[in-house]
Structure 1
Amino acid sequence: MIHELLQQLDEPFTGEALFDHLPDIVYFIKDRSGAYLVVNTTLQQRCGRQTKAQLLGRTPCEVFRSPLGNRFQEQDQRVLKTGKPLLFQLELHVYPSREVGWCLTTKLPLKNRRGTVVGLVGVSKDLQLPDYATAEYQHVATAIEYAEQHLAEPPSIPELAAQAQMSRYQFDRRIRRVFGLNASQWLLKLRIDLAQQQLCETDAPISAIALNVGYADQSAFTRQFRKTTGMTPQDYRRTGRRGE
């Protein structure tokens, strides 16, 4: 039904008009090279451009000053080359006014019918945080990156708090403010999200995926996965493949 509806539209649906009405969200679609194809008004304004057309066909390095442009472009290339999404990345944005603000960024690969990555779509959602939080959340972002890189041997919450140069209590409060979860819940979600991605996008054995997300054996992983999602890993993989 959705295909029939979209085929009846006068122009291809990109979501641009919808996201033009959401001033706290940056929205974009990029091509295989990482150049902007679609942007919303918020992104245009924050880049200090008079029109959206001034952004189209340009890459982040051509739009943002270093090091932001370089970081955004590196993210894009990672998604485009691996086909793996970037989920809820906590990062700092600098606006034309030189004010700074924190956001959560998600980027998803766009694939053609053969499964080849041909572009990406992404959003960055503003976090309403107090001005004094800028330095503190830079440390939180460091801890989050550390956790993402060590999921095969998941760090403890005290370890992550140390990475953030905070007490466990302070770290837990910051994570709650950003993600709406306590630190333990957030770390579990990070591991389950990665497991779901690997179940749907790879043919790796479930036992290998269990190790990749920090479980010593498949049975422990299966129990936690089922408790969290309501499905066994095998059933989740089967359902995800049918939905492709």
Structure 2
Amino acid sequence: MIEKFLSGLDGAFTGEELFDQVSDIVYFIKNCRGEYLVVNQTLVRRCGVNDKTDIIGKTATEVLGTCLGNSFVLQDQTLLKTGIPLLSRLELHHYVDTHTGWCLTTKFPLRGKDGKVKGLVGISKDLRIPDLQAEEYSHVADAVRYAEQNVATPPSVAALAELAQMSTYQLNRRMHYVFGLTAGQWLTKLRIDFARQLLVNTDQSIAAISLEAGYADQSAFTRQFRHSTGLSPKEFRQINRDKLGQRV
């Protein structure tokens, strides 16, 4: 239904005009080379340029310079190669207009009718939390980054709190401010999201995926996955493979 609706519109719908009205969100669409195709006015202002045409057709490195842009380019290349989305990544962003701030970045691959990744779409939403200082954000980000890099051997909430140099109560409070989840809920979401992407984008066995997602017991993984998604890992994989097949 949505495909038919969008095909009947006068021009391709990109959401550009909508995101032009939002000052605390950076919005963009990029092609398979990581070059900007669509940007909103917030990104224009933060890049210190006069017009969107100063950004379109360029990579983040070309727009922001090597120092600021390389991490974004690497992030893009990883997503474009693997097809695995980047979900609510807590990041400190620096822009050439001297804007600096913490944000949550999410990027999704854009696939063609053949199922192959053709580009990506993403947003970075500013975090404005009055009672958190920059240093506290940094400690939370360190803990989050550690968990993301160690999904197969996930830390406990107590270990995360220690990494963040906070009590468990303080970490839970700050995680809830940032992500809307307690630290324990966020850890579960991290592992299930990781497993979901492996189920869709790889041919690994469910047993192997359960280990990579930090579950020593496949049955425990299956129970948690069903509780979180309403489907077993096998059902989830089949449904998403069928959807992908419909686009080919």
TM-score grouping bracket, smaller chain normalisation: over 0.9
Q: Which has the higher contact order (CA 8 A, sep 6+)?
A: 2
Aligned residues: 244
Q: Does the 8 Å CA contact 1:200/1:241 hold for their aligned counterparts? A: yes
Identity %: 57
Q: Distance in 1 between matches of 2:13 and 2:85?
A: 22
Displacement after TM superposition at 1:6 (Å): 1.9
> CA deviation digits over 1:29-87, x for unaligned, max 9?
11111111110111111112211111111111122245331111111111112221111
Q: What is the match of residue 136 of structure 2? A: 136
Where structure 2 has 5 or more consecutive residues not aligned to the other structure, the ranges are none
Amino acid at match of 1:206: I
Which stretch shifts more, 176-185 or 75-84? 75-84
Q: Distance in 1 between matches of 2:63 and 2:88?
A: 22
Which stretch shifts more, 135-144 or 210-219? 135-144
Q: Does 1:192 align with 2:178?
A: no
> CA deviation digits over 1:191-235, x for unaligned, max 9?
111111112222211111111111112111111111222221122
Return closer, same or farther for 1:132/1:209 CA change in 2, 3 Å cut-off. Answer: closer
Q: What is the match of residue 167 of structure 1? A: 167
Q: What is the match of residue 25 of structure 2? A: 25
Return closer, same or farther for 1:170/1:24 CA change in 2, 3 Å cut-off. Answer: same
Give the alignment's TM-score, normalised by structure 2: 0.92
Where structure 1 has 5 or more consecutive residues not aligned to the other structure, the ranges are none
Amino acid at match of 1:229: T
| Runs of 4+ residues deviating >3 angstroms | none
Q: Does 1:44 align with 2:44?
A: yes
Partner secondary structure for residue 92 of structure 1:
strand
Q: Distance in 2 between matches of 1:95 and 1:68?
A: 7
- For residues 59-74 of structure 1, the aligned pairs below 5 Å read 59-74=59-74
Give the alignment's TM-score, normalised by structure 1: 0.93
Q: What is the match of residue 110 of structure 2? A: 110
Amino acid at match of 1:124: S
- For residues 83-232 of structure 1, the aligned pairs below 5 Å read 83-96=83-96, 98-130=98-130, 133-232=133-232
Return closer, same or farther for 1:176/1:131 CA change in 2, 3 Å cut-off. Answer: closer
